[in-house]
């Protein structure tokens, strides 16, 4: 019961004054939930992405990075996995990738919705023999961190506590590849509603939020004014 519901119950005489005061005290003194820190998913420039690919030896890791950066695929859309409701999402299959038509068909993605997105220019017909990729989510996340550190494009920017452990926070993580896909299209002038469809966002506000969270334009405006 929240404060509004408690006040309503007391006004309608559904609870006694003593009960009202006790419950109000509990609400007022209850520990407030800690807000999750809001992070800006840093855009991975193409120069950094090329460095990442150059330091990535395993083809399946390289193709996963290409699909994140060039097609905006989530890691679960590439290698599948078990959803929160217990249903299984299948790995991306070679027949889902249509390079001649520049299309990738994503089946039963987030929200159990199908969508079509853009096929990355770096992926070739000969590469489809590697699909479905053998790696899982954790292996890809580890590979991304390891190779991005080797490439010199990633580094530790902080940490958070989990129990008695300090968990490091890095500049880039795998999801930054998908964020870069969205940001890059918006910066190149692709209409936001088209980007929304390719990325599989629920609403246009989610898509345009990537443009709002990118401070590059604001910084350039300040520099032009010599401030």
Rounded to whole angstroms, how far apart are CA atoms 128 and 114? Answer: 21
- pLDDT over threshold 70, residue 214: no
The residue with tokens 């023999």 is 129
Q: What is the CATH number of domain 58-221?
A: 1.10.443
- pLDDT over threshold 80, residue 40: no
Rounded to whole angstroms, how far apart are CA atoms 35 and 115? Answer: 32
pLDDT of 53-94, one tens digit each? 999 999 999 999 999 999 999 999 999 988 777 778 889 999
What radius of gyration, in Å, describes the C-alpha atoms of the chain? 23
Produce one character per residue of 158-168: b if its CB has 16 or more CB atoms within 10 Å, e if not: eeeeeeeeeee
Percent of the chain with pLDDT over 90: 57
pLDDT of 179-207, one tens digit each? 999 999 998 999 999 999 999 999 998 89
Give yes or no for a contact between 204 and 195, defined as CB atoms under 8 angstroms apart: no
pLDDT of 83-94, one tens digit each? 777 778 889 999
Token pair of 65, please? 């990075």
**Prediction pTM value:** 0.77
pLDDT of residue 8: 83
**Domain positions in the chain:** 58-221
Q: What is the mean pLDDT of the chain?
A: 87
Give yes or no for a contact between 205 and 181, defined as CB atoms under 8 angstroms apart: no
């Amino acid at each position: 019961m929240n404060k509004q519901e408690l006040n309503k119950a007391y006004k309608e005489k559904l609870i006694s004054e003593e009960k009202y005061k006790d419950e109000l005290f509990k609400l007022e003194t209850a520990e407030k939930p800690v807000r999750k820190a809001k992070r800006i998913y840093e855009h991975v420039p193409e120069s950094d992405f090329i460095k990442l690919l150059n330091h990535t030896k395993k083809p399946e890791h390289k193709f996963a990075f290409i699909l994140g950066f060039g097609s905006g695929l989530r890691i679960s859309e590439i290698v599948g996995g078990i959803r929160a409701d217990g249903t299984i999402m299948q790995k991306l299959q070679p027949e889902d990738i249509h390079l001649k038509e520049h299309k990738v068909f994503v089946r039963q993605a987030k929200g159990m919705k199908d969508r079509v997105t853009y096929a990355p220019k770096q992926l070739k017909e000969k590469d489809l023999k590697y699909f479905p990729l053998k790696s899982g989510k954790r292996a890809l996340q580890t590979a991304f961190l390891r190779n991005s550190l080797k490439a010199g494009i990633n580094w530790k920017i902080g940490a958070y506590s989990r129990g008695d452990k300090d968990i490091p926070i890095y500049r880039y993580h795998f999801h930054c590849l998908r964020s870069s896909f969205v940001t890059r299209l918006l910066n190149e002038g692709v209409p936001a509603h088209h980007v929304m469809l390719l990325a599989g966002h629920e609403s246009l506000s989610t898509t345009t939020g990537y443009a709002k969270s990118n401070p590059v334009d604001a910084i350039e405006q300040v520099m032009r004014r010599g401030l």
